[in-house]
Chain A
């Protein structure tokens, strides 16, 4: 079993919909959790950083961590075509492990 599992997609949703992106992990030592957005041929852009179970909200983005289930999520409200990108989860303890990324398409 890989340390971090992330569905590669692609995930296509209509503009304005709520998007749910998820990662599962096996190593309970992970202590902090990040979500990145990566546009084609660009570097990853940090969206959310959290180190505790529960929800963290920033604008249209909400990060959710459930350490007991080893499951993290990123919710995007009122999705826009500009949200079309690959979303990477990243989990860290002594080092950071990235998921493979989920490709998201927001359809106008």
Chain B
């Protein structure tokens, strides 16, 4: 069964350091999403791609966060510099297109010390 892949699964970093997360969506899925999930909350959208183009990044803190999906397949989310408040689960999801079911990866749990 096809799955969304993410790495690393866990990351511990010191504040002010740079950190990057990688996501490989289900093959053929044109839409890719990055979410942040704080413990006890639902996922909140950070950025949405349609192929290689950003569709929605209105909730992405652009002073420190960046995301790219250069070839319209896999994607990288970067934080620089990391802050204590960035500690959370970062989830990647993909779907065939907008308004289709979203399938999530296992997530990257980030701890900033």
B104 pairs with A49, CB closer than 8 A: no
Contact of B41 among A36, A46, A100 (CB under 8 A): A100
B107 pairs with A43, CB closer than 8 A: yes
Q: Smallest Cβ distance from A101 to chain B, in angstroms?
A: 6
A95, B4: Cα distance in complex, Å:
20
Q: How many residues of A contact B (CB 8 A)?
A: 24
Q: Report A25-50 CB contacts with B as 1/0, cut-off 8 Å.
A: 00000011010100001111110010
Complex contacts, A100 vs chain B, CB 8 Å: 40-42
B63 in contact (CB, < 8 A) = no
Complex contacts, A41 vs chain B, CB 8 Å: 89, 107, 109
Complex contacts, A4 vs chain B, CB 8 Å: 42
A95 pairs with B42, CB closer than 8 A: no
A88, B56: Cα distance in complex, Å:
22
Name 20 A/B residue pairs within 8 A (Cβ), A-sorted. A36-B104, A41-B89, A41-B107, A41-B109, A43-B104, A43-B106, A43-B107, A44-B104, A46-B102, A46-B104, A88-B42, A90-B42, A90-B102, A94-B98, A95-B45, A96-B45, A96-B102, A100-B40, A100-B41, A101-B41
B103 pairs with A98, CB closer than 8 A: no
A96, B103: Cα distance in complex, Å:
13
Q: Smallest Cβ distance from A20 to chain B, in angstroms?
A: 19
Complex contacts, A96 vs chain B, CB 8 Å: 45, 102
Q: Answer whether A98 and B107 are a contact pair too, CB < 8 Å, given A43-B91, A46-B101, A92-B99.
A: no
A54 in contact (CB, < 8 A) = no
